[in-house]
Structure 1
Amino acid sequence: MLTVEGLHSYYGKAHILNGLSFGIARGEVVALLGRNGAGKSTTMKSVMQLVRPREGTVRFQDHDLVGQPAFRVAKYGIGYVPEDRRIFTDLTVMENLEVGRQPRRDDAPEWKMDQLFEIFPNLAERRTNRGKHLSGGEQQMLTIARTLMGNPVLLLLDEPSEGIAPVIVEQMARTIMTLKAQGLTVMISEQNLHFARAVADRAIIIESGEKKFDGSFAELEAHPEIRDAYLSV
């Protein structure tokens, strides 16, 4: 579904992604792992074309994404949940969800507001509350729900467990498993190995913008030296 080849991305003169390559198949949940600053968020922004790669290719289904505006990438069916959430704080929960609405796609599950309220009962209870009155975890849920209102084929989740309470982390894990059961393809960037192992089929480890490992969690557990070299604090 998604193929990234030889990706080089920069912030100014800072070389962040250094020839990164990987692929994601339909229906997979893939965890992009690495320490803070490894290039995980830049990878997602490069897929979305919020950061324009200087070299390499990004193909999503039949589309070449490099050079496309981010809104068109979203229209192709990629939903992006940024680490900093970016909800509309002066809009209610329901109004935030309406902002994200896009038409149904033939190759993706269709999400309606009532379904999302079943998945995120906290949001159902606060449906008329403004975004600024939600907790950090509830804002994270709202960002994911708003993105799902776009009926994406592929969902990119940037650090979904970062900075939220453990009980919400558990709910987030259940949510990702629900999305997978609905047939959605998901890529998450994470530093929390326990969380990633609970939800993902496969791990891709990057360090300094280069891929260091790509395989199952069983394979990663069989090579503790890789985990210690690239994931230990």
Structure 2
Amino acid sequence: MLELHDVNSYYGKAHILSDLGFSVGRGEVAALLGRNGAGKTTTMKSVMQLVRPRSGEIRFDGTSLVGLPSHKVARLGLGYVPEERRIFSDLTILENLEVGRQPRRQGAPNWKVETLFELFPNLWERRHNRGKALSGGEQQMLTIARTLMGNPKLLLLDEPSEGIAPVIVEQMAHTIVRLKQEGLTVIISEQNLHFARMVADRAVIIEGGEKKFDGSFPELEAQPEIRDAYLSV
């Protein structure tokens, strides 16, 4: 569904992604793993064309994304949940969800408000609360739910377990598994190996903007030197 080939992305003169390439199949959950500053967020922003690669190719469902405005990338069926969450703090949960509403998309799960409240019961209980009254974990749930209102074919989640309580992390893991069961393709960016192992089919390890590993978690466990070199603190 998504293919990256020899992608090179920069911030000014700083070369962040170096000939990065990997692919993600339809209905798969893939985890981008790596330390802080490895290039995981830049990879997601390059897919969304928020950062424009200087060279390389990114294709989604056979369509090249390179050079497209970000809103057109989103209209093709990509949903992006940034680490910063960026909810509308003065709008209620219900109003935030309405902002994200888009028509049903062929080949993607169709999400309704009622279904999302089943997925995130915490949001149902506080549906009339404004965004600024929510905890960090609830804001993360709301950001994901708002993005799902756009009925994406592929969901990009940047650090979904970062800075939230352990009980919410576990709930987030169950949510991502449910999204996969619904047929949604998901890419998560993570530093938390335990969380990634709970939800993802395979791992892509990035270090210094380069791919260092691409395989299943059993394959990663069989190579502890890779894990220790690129994921240990």
What letter corresponds to residue 181 of structure 1 in structure 2? Q
1:78 aligns with 2:78: yes
SS class of match (1:94): helix
1:90 aligns with 2:90: yes
Identify the residue that residue 17 of structure 1 maps to in structure 2: 17
1:63 Cα shift? 1.3
1:105 Cα shift? 1.0
TM-score (normalizing by structure 1)? 1.00
CA distance in 2, matches of 1:72, 1:99: 17
Unaligned 5+ runs, structure 2: none
Identify the residue that residue 172 of structure 1 maps to in structure 2: 172
Which string of whole-angstrom CA distances, capped at 9 and with x for unpartnered residues, describes residues 9-54 of structure 1?
Answer: 0111111000100000001000000000000000000000000000
What letter corresponds to residue 230 of structure 1 in structure 2? Y
Identify the residue that residue 224 of structure 1 maps to in structure 2: 224
CA distance in 1, matches of 2:90, 2:63: 36
TM-score (normalizing by structure 2)? 1.00
CA distance in 2, matches of 1:63, 1:126: 40
Identify the residue that residue 213 of structure 1 maps to in structure 2: 213
4+ residue stretches of structure 1 with deviation over 4 A? Answer: none
CA RMSD of aligned residues (A): 0.4
SS class of match (2:173): helix
1:62 Cα shift? 2.5
Identify the residue that residue 34 of structure 2 maps to in structure 1: 34
SS class of match (2:117): helix
SS class of match (1:228): helix
Which string of whole-angstrom CA distances, capped at 9 and with x for unpartnered residues, describes residues 118-158 of structure 1?
Answer: 01011001101000000000000000000000000000000
How is 1:47-126 mapped onto 2 (pairs within 5 angstroms)? 47-126=47-126
SS class of match (1:128): coil
